[in-house]
Amino acid sequence: MTILVAGATGLAGSAIIRELNRIGKSVVGISSKDIDLRDRTLTFEFLQKLKPRVVIDAAAKVGGINANNTFPVEFLSTNIQIQTNLMDASHSVSVERFIFLGSNCIYPKNCLQPIKEEYILSGPLEPTNSAYAVAKLAGIELIKSYRKEFGHKWFSIMPINLYGPNDNFDLESSHVFPALIRKFTDAVENNSKEVVVWGSGNPRREFLHVDDLARAIIVCLEKYDSDEHINIGTGSDLTIKDLAEMIAEISGFKGEIIWDSTKEDGTLRKLLDTQKITKLGWKPEVTLEQGIKSTIDWYIKNK
């Protein structure tokens, strides 16, 4: 059984491939360097040749608040093209299982906490990344539509904020976790006395190590089959201020943390309800402290 992982060099895709290789599965990984999934013809031709039985879609244009807010057209258009072409091409070769990776930003800005799967479309989205969220919502709906019309055993998963090796550490486009890793690690290396961090530090976020996501996907492949997406998270959160202080301490930074409150905070809280995935027998294994240390080590080694 061949499993295709799209987005193979990214944060999620690379972790999924590592886990599939670990358990002895036959896996093919592709990235934008191998094939441009925005090109419908190329995508169909590639799937016709490979004919995988399982497709895991971890390919997407992603970025932090600044990138999403600055380039909404790219985040909406590019992601809709990628996911639609891949799903349509997978249907053309009768792919048995298709897993679509969504994003927790699909949930309303002011959402009840913890966020249950059924809270989707229950209120307005966070404006700073609404274009990306709409693209992901479209992907979820297309998965449901393929299930309804053709009976495919396809489904969507909704991970909380991910971090780990192969993340994007570019300060202009990264998410908060890798941005903090880079800022504090570089500050230690450069003997800087202060680090400026975006926002007030008050929003609460939940973070999941990408290796735990990969293990959750394997569990879902074996045990999950529903037209409702499934949340993947740790079930606990912390403030960005607390996260920054943890990263500063683990990195060895002794200087001052300055909060730039002129920058957007985004949604005040995101905590997923993870009852469904835990009932399938999965739970996260990497603690936040372990994850921060290993990610710092990876960044220093690979930067």
* Catalytic site includes residue 132: yes
What strands, in cross-sheet order, belong to the sheet with 155-159? 26-30, 2-6, 54-57, 97-101, 155-159, 230-232
- Residue 264 Ramachandran class (φ > 0 left, ψ -120 to 50 alpha, else beta): beta
In this structure, the number of other CB atoms found within 10 A of the CB of residue 164 comes to 24
- CB hemisphere CA count around 167 (13 angstroms): 33
For residue 157, give both structure tokens: 């998963």
Nearest to 25 by CA among 53, 60, 59: 53
For residue 65, give both structure tokens: 């608040």
In this structure, the number of other CB atoms found within 10 A of the CB of residue 36 comes to 13
Nearest to 214 by CA among 3, 4, 12: 12
Active site residue: 107, 132, 146, 224, which one? 132
Handedness of CA 107, 113, 115, 118 (dihedral sign): negative
Contact, 125 vs 111, CB < 8 A? Answer: no
Question: How far are the Cα atoms of 107, 175, 179, 248, 258 from residue 195, in angstroms, in the given order?
Answer: 31, 17, 11, 9, 6
Catalytic residues: 132
